[in-house]
Structure 1
């Protein structure tokens, strides 16, 4: 069997931290190209990993028949254009989350995948985490009974990334805390609950603490190298919402930044027989009743590297021609929910979601 031949588009932190190392660790794959519009980043990747060719325009790769797998690790504003171009060039694509800045772009991506018959997976890596799949198994088995409400908290004290740069520029990113962090939480909930149809959403997104860029006080900042004191800040640093589905009601509260000095990152799956609290990125506790007693069960299991599992699954999909749980047809539901929450915030009313 010949190896999967991959190209990595965008050689930033997510590419170097998740995609590239796991392609190289998989015996069924090799990387032919490293591409970045910042030339030194592509050059550095070739030097660091000792393979592939550096290119600075992804269009140079489109016509290469050897390439059959592409990771799109660019800023959000380029996701749709680049993914669609590669799909129409006959390549299978793994596009980092979020699928796109806005729903219409994500729908264009889904349409291109359907029309070309190629695989389009979205980088919602939690779908490959052992802890998440254990919870899904518990829900599917009926141990929680009817899961009627799920609450997600993705709150930090002062964690606005790259203040003033692309992360906080809506034209580039599409949004803030919701589209950057909330996408993972909402998608995880949808996956564990069996992809229920979203019906309506009501929410408010707040742009408050980062507006005064020069006087913003923080302890640490991810992507500090992309921050700009004279840049743009027009995205949500916190968000709250409620989503009705054909399954559970989903509510959430998220914040890149808030004037509460606590970080709270968890998801509660609340059923009429039992409940589960997932410590995001970690393990979980199950609460229930047994023999007339209230019980807490703390499972002990071996976790995994969700990014590695994600890349391994994508490579397997390319080889077998089969879709996995991160396919655009599943991930599109989260795009619909996020768009509805943003629309609700702008109009200050509940939004019906056209499934």
Structure 2
């Protein structure tokens, strides 16, 4: 008997859908692309034709009513994530939501609660979790290689090539570099270091005009640079600098503890590790390089989709959940709040302190 495949629908036929979701679902032998929906019917129809999808709709509710659809990816713009995720959960569909989970904590909480109430699996589009380097860092920390964590620094900067103008419009994106690129980092920081107790941050819009596909976008109202100082619940300290208005791309993370340090490199440069806990003779103590080879980006996207598909078909717990996406958003919103007020902000955020639109 042939193995059951998961009937899959995609809500949103824009760039991330066509690059990351549709081609990787089409090549996954355990998935069956059933339907595509987009508010632009021409986009939905074109995607259906290009990927041989039987059904296309201009209303995602019709996609959710299709009994062949068992799981969905939500790939709309960030401010439009909550409604289809909640509706999908209510319809009994498993969900992968692209980042960020939402632009308000109220929406994020409602999404997580809807999935829990319906008993469906809900995961996030954090493809970096399915590489090789970060899981190795997590393993080393768990093994106590650097001892008690005391400090963390994170730098992630580079020139950003925006594909569509809405990236630079707060009403659609929810913010700039911090919620777009930085939402991955927020999740990574929490995954590796644990909860953040307080943050103090500043932000700036250094670039007021940007060319997007030969269109000059002016009146930009989202930040391109953020600097945050964090205090973790475990007592460790951290700093985080993110920017997408700079000329050169560079960055990485350092983790320092009572017995050693870990430094992550860019791309495939691997990890540098120092530890006093190594058992070799003293003359071998010192920095050592651990080579890690990261999959190409398309394969990382394949893995994040396979994570949901395999979880459903094999009845295995998710390693990355909607709640993780909610917590990453909370950290980002706390940083925004601190930058806005000029004051430290404590976490978890009180509902009254959460900005409805950042």
CA contact (8 A) 1:287 1:294 kept: no
Instruction: Give the C-alpha shift of residue 90 in structure 1.
Output: 1.0
Instruction: Give the C-alpha shift of residue 41 in structure 1.
Output: 2.1
Residue-by-residue CA offset, 1:136-183 (whole Å, 9 max, x unaligned): 111111112122212111112x426257x2001001000000001111
2:153 is equivalent to residue 159 of structure 1: no
2:271 is equivalent to residue 285 of structure 1: yes
Instruction: Give the C-alpha shift of residue 25 in structure 1.
Output: 1.8
2:290 is equivalent to residue 299 of structure 1: yes
Matches within 5 A, 1:1-355: 1-156=3-158, 158-159=159-160, 161-162=162-163, 165-193=165-193, 196-209=194-207, 211=208, 213=209, 216=210, 224-225=212-213, 228-229=215-216, 232-247=219-234, 248-258=236-246, 261-288=247-274, 291-292=282-283, 295-304=286-295, 305-354=299-348
C-alpha distance in 2, partners of 1:186/1:280?
17
CA contact (8 A) 2:228 2:335 kept: yes
Structure 2: unaligned runs, 5 residues or longer = 350-358
Residue-by-residue CA offset, 1:30-67 (whole Å, 9 max, x unaligned): 11012222223222222222233221111111222221
After superposing the two structures, state which structure 1 stretch, 336-345 or 325-334, moved more: 325-334
How many residues align? The count is 338
Structure 1: unaligned runs, 5 residues or longer = none
Note the aligned Cα RMSD (angstroms): 2.1
C-alpha distance in 1, partners of 2:106/2:266?
29
TM-score, normalised with respect to structure 2: 0.88
CA contact (8 A) 2:133 2:271 kept: no
Residue-by-residue CA offset, 1:98-128 (whole Å, 9 max, x unaligned): 1111222111111111221111111111111
Residue-by-residue CA offset, 1:165-217 (whole Å, 9 max, x unaligned): 20010010000000011111121222233xx22211211121231x2x2xx5x
